[in-house]
Amino acid sequence: MFDQVSIIGCGLIGSSVLRRINKNKSVKKLVCYDNNKSVCEIIKKKNLSNNLATSPVEAVKNSDLILISIPLSSFENLINSIKDNLKPGSILMDTCSVKTGVDNIVKKLKIKNSTWIPGHPVAGTENSGPNAGFSDLFQDRWTILTPDKNVKDSEIKKATLFWESMGSKVKIMSVQDHDKIISLTSHLPHVIAYNIVKTVMSSDDKTKNDIVRYSAGGLRDFTRIAASDPIMWKDIFIDNSSLIIDAIDRFSESLSQFKKAIEEKNSEKLLQIFEKSKEFRKSIIKAGQDTDKPDFGRK
């Protein structure tokens, strides 16, 4: 499909792509780059790549596909350093969870020769770094691509085939639609998870010890989400701030109605909400997005 592929940034996502490409044996030459030395050590130690470049420019030279998998806060610098060294006809992709910011950067910096196809594999775990990656991370998960309308179908097809070779299902949508949906399915849940942990942590010390001990009653599930990569989430919250604030406002409105129902001991209203939630859970399981084993099959 592509003779040479370059992966810039080898954390959870980048190293999982690396592992899958190695497994597929579908690429003639695979080049990696990461600005963190300890990440490079792990890539070497785990034999994930023989071609570890020493600079971004060296990494992208002659590559047909360049996949950038780094936090947004480093994105502009990186694009700036590689933009004049991209191979004519190549495809440039990323994996950021918010598409507006990276899209604006790439357009502002006017990359040459390469077709920009922003992407977001909706997959991940609460662990980060190259040790946390695995070749099946994207299996049966969605990858959303958000190319501009003027991007040629042939190039979108190539990007699609690439993500399908990762095990992904691929969906094309606009940058705006993507950021709105993800603000609800991913960013709002993370905001909430951080805040629920923040709330219980503000208790006195004696209570806090008991809270840890009895967290199996529901809390522990939230702490999993709230344990995700801090730098990445800081970037996401700032990059998608207006949509996230919108989602927070809607959530707060819902919460104050709910509080009112509890204050009024309004059984009927509460039951109505609960029944609808159960239905929604069923639709998620039906859509193949979760397991119906109780407790996620922890037992």
User: Rule CB under 8 A: which of 269-288 touch a copy of itself?
Assistant: 270-271, 273-278, 280-284, 287
Q: How many residues bind a copy of itself (CB under 8 A)?
A: 104
Sequential DSSP letters for the chain? --SEEEEE--SHHHHHHHHHHHHHT--SEEEEE-S-HHHHHHHHHTT--S-B-SSHHHHHTT-SEEEE-S-GGGHHHHHHHHTTSPPTT-EEEE--S-HHHHHHHHHHHT--SSEEE-EEE----S--SGGG--TTTTTT-EEEE---TTS-HHHHHHHHHHHHHTT-EEEE--HHHHHHHHIIIIIHHHHHHHHHHHHHHTS-HHHHHHHHHTGGGTHHHHHHHTTS-HHHHHHHHHHTHHHHHHHHHHHHHHHHHHHHHHHTT-HHHHHHHHHHHHHHHHHHHHTTSS--SGGGG--
Q: Does residue number 23 form part of the binding site for a copy of itself (CB under 8 A)?
A: no
**Which residue, 64 or 229, has its beta carbon nearer to a copy of itself?**
229
Site string for a copy of itself, 158-197 (x = CB under 8 A): -------------x-----x--xxx-xxxxxxxxxxxxxx
- Give the one residue of 126, 158, 164, 165 binding a copy of itself; rule: CB under 8 A: 126
Q: Does residue number 141 form part of the binding site for a copy of itself (CB under 8 A)?
A: yes
Closest approach, Cβ 293 to a copy of itself, in A, equals 9
- Give the one residue of 149, 153, 202, 205 binding a copy of itself; rule: CB under 8 A: 202
Q: Does residue number 144 form part of the binding site for a copy of itself (CB under 8 A)?
A: yes
- Segment contacting a copy of itself by CB under 8 A, of 42-50, 74-82, 159-167, 257-265: 257-265
Closest approach, Cβ 44 to a copy of itself, in A, equals 23
**Which residue, 113 or 185, has its beta carbon nearer to a copy of itself?**
185
Q: Does residue number 153 form part of the binding site for a copy of itself (CB under 8 A)?
A: no
- Segment contacting a copy of itself by CB under 8 A, of 17-25, 32-40, 157-165, 246-254: 246-254
- Give the one residue of 142, 151, 165, 172 binding a copy of itself; rule: CB under 8 A: 142
Task: Round to whole Å and give the CA distance between 15 and 151.
Answer: 28
> 129 with 14: CB under 8 angstroms?
no
**Which residue, 84 or 249, has its beta carbon nearer to a copy of itself?**
249
User: Rule CB under 8 A: which of 73-102 touch a copy of itself?
Assistant: 97
- Segment contacting a copy of itself by CB under 8 A, of 3-11, 19-27, 61-69, 223-231: 223-231
